[in-house]
Structure 1
């Protein structure tokens, strides 16, 4: 067994190396470049970098922040990302000792890397690449299996069933906020540009059916709606007054004691909408790029929905809720501060979600216990 103190050192060094690779992802993914080929090179003179040019942090310091070959300045973001990742990996190894969580520690490091890379890319391009979020959610499920084998579930990390539930509820919660918020932005008018063959309309169908019949029937109803679109070779409109309005009425009925009950209806609706939104995410990721400029106003980016699925898969649904609450509160407070200073909000929601996930990872279990204690539960 590797001593925990030694693992902190190993994790820190590993974090520095992964931080270097994170810089590659941050630069190449938004530009749709391969992360494997060509090898690392100077973006100014295109000269291939030697191994001595790639030592995390030290190479940048030794070269005075400039390319060895063309002397062009190198952004200080590179060593900063490496340092942050190294320190974070060391902190994770301290907070979650290897003797307790085993290989699950690697999963927590991977989660941090996904959050950091997604936040930096989102801040620069207003997008979060599918190459990060969709495989990231799948990896979260995989580490649910690892958590069960290593005993990491004793520290509050989810096993597979809890990871799956967290993934679906994470995506479902944010897509529901997006659906209802976008409906309000359109002043309750129907979408002008419904997607074909599946999209937000099918997610709304899943949301409504899932409230009454659960995640399986909700997902099936959304897929059936998409199948009808394919059969008719056109978009069969499903009025949002029926779907979204129906969800609000359904929840009101559930709170009055009708149907499966309010809690089960909320869980079923969110899980079904989350499942359908991930199906849409995979479809939009694999289909050819759509250069159409016709779109309806949206309350939230779809990348945030998939990032919430990643967080739910790695941390489970309870910590996911903590992450979302922290993200909303931090977004409101820091957004107000930014508007007072710069007259605009310069941070996108993705970084707030990442911040919320880190708070939930380190303190989420304690915050949940404190809240339940306050309620007397």
Structure 2
């Protein structure tokens, strides 16, 4: 007999709910970087022919597969990313459903972690495609963490508090401290921008949901992921560029002078992230403009024709997300390894 709230076979229900959420995430990934509203137009459309998609076009995973990865109306190819987003989100929701509702009995954690995993998927695919993590996605992560912490406090659960303050607040401060600290040291020692601001805000959201210890573990996993996958991706990208250069010789472009962010600006932005000025600014842009000296909605949307990046640019957001997902899904094992290591060190 199953110990959890639901039998194991209901995991498939979690998968399909997640896949449906993934369908919505495709809207987020497509529209937010382009400065488009998620609410309007209300119906999904083909990016090429702008035809409104019907129910037959919107069945998660299956519509893309059965239509051969093409629009049913204009036959334009549809990127495999649409199917992958739905498949990955469905898999994550199915795994979390199994862990927290089938072999466990924690619906509060399931809701928080499932919503958080959806935000992470949106961050992964947006950052890979456009080197952007939308403020709306980072704000959603933080809000999920605060809501989760509030539910734990209402249930009088001990994990709701860390260092005498709400665990989500402690985790958010930890996330900002670690990533902002890396950015500050990189700017100070190497005179380069070592960390994107989207990554710092994302770390705040990760800390808010996972709380300090799990968040710190996730950052360690992110570093490992970045070292392995990032270096491999960079090598492949360089090899592709060399092959392209061998086929067609293009005139070398002059490199533009690069001016790193000032230390004063970095400090001011870090304080702003602690005070949630970026989140408040999404509601009241004047607040954002007053603190960060720019309007959040005046930032240029991405342009597919001009969205070219340097070979050495590797987005760190996906690695942060992979680390967070790894910590979230395998925390009991990771915690046992960490505690075992600490015990062995203290004994010696």
What is the match of residue 65 of structure 1? 69
CA positional deviation for 1:13: 1.3
Counterpart CA distance in 2 for 1:93 and 1:5 is 9
Where do 5+ consecutive residues of structure 2 fail to align? 239-310
**Which one of 73, 86, 90 corresponds to residue 86 of structure 1?**
90
Distance in 1 between the 2:70 and 2:196 partners? 36
Alpha-carbon distance in 2 for matches of 1:4, 1:112: 23
Alpha-carbon distance between aligned partners in 2 of 1:10 and 1:327, rounded to the nearest angstrom: 30
Q: Secondary structure at the match of 1:97?
A: helix
Report Cα offsets for 1:96-117 as digits up to 9, x if no partner. 2365211320110111111111
CA distance 1:94–1:336, shift in 2 (3 Å): same
Per the alignment, residue 142 of structure 1 pairs with 147
Query: Judging changes above 3 Å, is the alpha-carbon distance between structure 1 residues 2 and 338 closer, same or farther for their aligned structure 2 residues?
Result: closer
| Aligned-residue offset at 1:31 | 0.7
Match of 1:111 among 100, 116, 121: 116
Task: Using structure 2 for the length normalisation, give the TM-score.
Answer: 0.70
Question: SS at the partner of 2:47?
Answer: coil
Q: Deviations over 1:59-116 (max 9, x none)?
A: 1122222111111111111111111111111111122236521132011011111111
Structure 1: unaligned runs, 5 residues or longer: 187-296
Identify the residue that residue 357 of structure 1 maps to in structure 2.
Answer: 324
Match of 1:200 in 2: none
Secondary structure, counterpart of 1:100 in structure 2: coil
Matches within 5 A, 1:52-201: 52-97=56-101, 99-149=104-154, 161-186=166-191
How many angstroms does 1:166 deviate by? 0.3
Give the match's secondary structure for 1:304: helix
SS at the partner of 2:105? helix
Q: Is the 8 A contact 2:5 2:105 kept in 1?
A: no
Query: Does structure 2 conserve the Cα–Cα contact (< 8 Å) formed by 1:147 and 1:158?
Result: no
Displacement, 1:183? 1.4
- Distance in 2 between the 1:310 and 1:7 partners? 30
Q: Is the 8 A contact 2:69 2:79 kept in 1?
A: yes
Q: Give the secondary-structure state (helix, strand or coil) at the position aligned to 2:346.
A: coil
Normalised TM-score (structure 1): 0.65
**1:15 aligned residue:** 18
CA deviations over 1:208-248 (Å, ceiling 9, x no partner) = xxxxxxxxxxxxxxxxxxxxxxxxxxxxxxxxxxxxxxxxx
Q: Is 1:308 aligned to residue 206 of structure 2?
A: no
Corresponding pairs, count:
265
Q: Deviations over 1:1-43 (max 9, x none)?
A: 9514254222111101001011111000101111121110111
| Aligned positions of 1:1-40 closer than 5 A | 2-38=5-41, 39-40=43-44
Indicate if the aligned counterparts of 2:6 and 2:101 stay in contact, CA closer than 8 A: no
Q: Which residue of 2 aligns with 1:367?
A: 337
Partner in structure 2 of residue 323 of structure 1: 218
The Cα of 1:342 is off from its aligned counterpart by 3.3
Q: Which deviates further from its counterpart, 50-59 or 337-346?
A: 337-346
Bigger fraction of residues in helix: 1
